[in-house]
Every structure is written in structure tokens, then in C-alpha cells.
Amino acid sequence: MGLITREELNRINRGFDIEEFGDNVSMVTRDNGDVGEEEYSDIDYSSGLEIIKSLKEDFNIIAKISTCDEWVFVNFKNTDNKRETEMLRLKAEVVKAQNNLDKMVDGVFNKIKNQKSLKKTCKNCESNISVSYLQNCNCPVCGIEMFSNTEQIKYHKLIVTLREKREKLNDFINDI
């Protein structure tokens, strides 16, 4: 396994523009994205996943796919150092776990803010709070998260996953 060449990238490319090259590569497209609605295309996203799969078969890389509005990004680190690759993979897992947790909390907060009722009752302290006053998912009186039972279970699972990923990364760094 060596480093990826520009020729190799061009061979497996599926309509993405190569924005940077070297140790860090960024490929981007919005060929099928909806510019007016600012939504990425499942076709572009799938193409990005295919690029990552093709590269991982032949090269030692850490890759991630992300979206912003109608854009799909494929980013990866071009390396042949296995320890560095493993550390980057573990860091990427921590970031992904944190993003999943943040996305869940943001979704709950948006659900609370967009509910029909103008007030929310805290299950812990039973305070009746104006939704417009809330700054996050925590009760401003007692500080406890204002999640439903189902959301509470999901939240704690995500916290445990994040903690486990961080511990794995710390163990790996301490073994170096």
C-alpha cells in the first residue's frame, strides 16, 4: 500500500472536483444537489461512499463524507503510516459520536421550540416554562434535561458511546 496518486483519484472519480491534493485530499460535488432547496443528493452521497470504498480497498486512508446544503464532501488523509491512520480513525469515531449526540440534542430542542404549546413542563421540578425562554434542552430552574423517556434513553446511549470512543482514543494515545 502506497500513497494515492492523482491518476488513481481520477480513475475512481465519480463527478467530484478535487479541491486539494497531498496528504489531505478534499473532493466535492453538487452535481445532483438541489441548489434552490439547499439539499444534497442521495446520488452524490452514494457516489462519495463508492469513492471511499474503492480507496479503502487499495490504500491505507482515513476518510469521511459530509454534507453542507447541496454539497457533498469526501475528505481523507493520504498516508501509509498505520499508527497515524489508526489514531485518525479513532479521532474520527469520537467526532462522529459527538456529532450524533449534538444532532440528537439539537433535534429535541427544535422539537420543543416548534411545539404548538407555548409552555413546557419540566418532569423533574414540575416548573411551567415559556418555550420562548428556553436556550437549550435543560430546564432553567433545575438544570435537568427536558427529554421524553424515549429521548432520555437515546441520549444516555449516545453519551455512553461517546465516552467509550474517547476512552479508546485515550488508551491508544497513552500506549504510544
Residue 72 and residue 17: Cα distance in Å, rounded? 11
Q: How far out from the chain centre does Cα 85 lie?
A: 19
> Per-residue pLDDT for 156 more than 90?
yes
Question: Which residues contact residue 77 at a Cβ distance below 8 angstroms, ignoring those fewer than 6 apart?
Answer: 23, 24, 25, 61, 62, 63, 84, 85, 88
Q: How many CB atoms lie within 10 A of CB 47?
A: 22
Contact 119/131 with Cβ under 8 angstroms? yes
- pLDDT given at position 99: 92
Q: How many CB atoms lie within 10 A of CB 148?
A: 11
Q: Give the mean pLDDT of 120-127.
A: 93
Instruction: Report which of 103, 94, 166, 160 is spatially closest to residue 137, judged by C-alpha positions.
Output: 103
Contact 92/62 with Cβ under 8 angstroms? yes
87-111 per-position pLDDT tens digit: 888 998 999 999 999 999 999 999 9
> Per-residue pLDDT for 54 more than 60?
yes
Q: Give the mean pLDDT of 127-143.
A: 92
CA-to-CA separations, 24 to 9, 73, 75, 97, 99, in angstroms, rounded: 13, 13, 7, 22, 21
Residue 48 and residue 54: Cα distance in Å, rounded? 10
